[in-house]
Amino acid sequence: MSTRDATMMDDVAEILLDTETISSRVRQLGADIARDYAAKDVVLVSILKGALPFLADLMRAAPIPLALDFLEVSSYGTSTETSGVVRVLKDLANPIEGRHVLIVEDIIDTGLTLNYVIEHLRAQRPASIKLCALLDKPARRIVPLQIDYRGFEIPDKFVIGYGLDYAERYRNLPFIGVLRPEVYRR
């Protein structure tokens, strides 16, 4: 372990959701999705990069035929706040017209990013669009959104791990923790 890696844990103020808690909730969500989409042509549309660990676990908990596709977006803003101005960096590889889309996202904070993404996808005329988010931070919501499959509601704290980053770091932590505020004030 390098000195850089060794300091990762020092930047965690508290563990909010441990590995076992995440994994049992993701298994439940997978079972719900498998039940609801069993007979449908479903595409899981995931948003790079934070949702990747969640997507990987979720799809293996949903033993039904499904397809994957990816969007990469960047939202302008400060390091811990989004502005609502979203740019598509990577678009879907395949058409979604007439198919059932389930968006798989790591966290809904203000809702601005997802609101943009939903409009972007709706323009491509899918049969339906639903939203699955591992984390919901309702305290900061600006745009109301219906979360059809929700993992956990969390308090208004900046979290890292299980895909979530701060300045591209901490994504590989196997739990979800609160980042020490000193780190982003540095």
Nearer to ligand IMP, 50 or 126 (CB): 50
Distance of closest approach, residue 95 Cβ to ligand IMP, in angstroms: 24
Distance of closest approach, residue 158 Cβ to ligand IMP, in angstroms: 4
Burial bucket for residue 143 (CB in 10 Å: 0-12, 13-18, 19+): middle
Is 57 among the catalytic positions?
no
What one-letter code names the amino acid at 95? P
Quick note: the x/- pattern for ligand IMP over 78-117, rule CB under 6 A, is ----x----------------------xxxxxxxxxx---
Quick note: the x/- pattern for ligand IMP over 143-172, rule CB under 6 A, is ---------------xxx---x--------
Does 53 sit near ligand IMP (CB under 6 A)? no
Nearer to ligand IMP, 44 or 112 (CB): 112
Does 136 sit near ligand IMP (CB under 6 A)? no
Which strand (E) or helix (H) includes residue 90? strand 81-90
Does 33 sit near ligand IMP (CB under 6 A)? no
| 49 preceded by a cis bond (ω within 30 of 0) | yes
CB 178 within 8 A of CB 161: no
Catalytic residue among 69, 109, 148, 165: 109
Edge-to-edge strand order for the sheet containing 12-17?
A: 12-17, 176-179, 159-160
Nearer to ligand IMP, 46 or 99 (CB): 46
Does 134 sit near ligand IMP (CB under 6 A)? no
CB 100 within 8 A of CB 40: yes
Q: How many CB atoms lie within 10 A of CB 144?
A: 8
User: If DSSP states are collapsed to H, E and C, what string results for 46-80?
Assistant: EEECCCHHHHHHHHHCCCCCCEEEEEEEEEEEECC
Does 46 sit near ligand IMP (CB under 6 A)? no
Distance of closest approach, residue 134 Cβ to ligand IMP, in angstroms: 10
Q: How far apart are CA 171 and CA 42, in angstroms?
A: 27
Tell me which residues are annotated as active site: 109
Task: Give the binding site for ligand IMP (CB under 6 A).
Answer: 50, 75, 82, 105-114, 158-160, 164
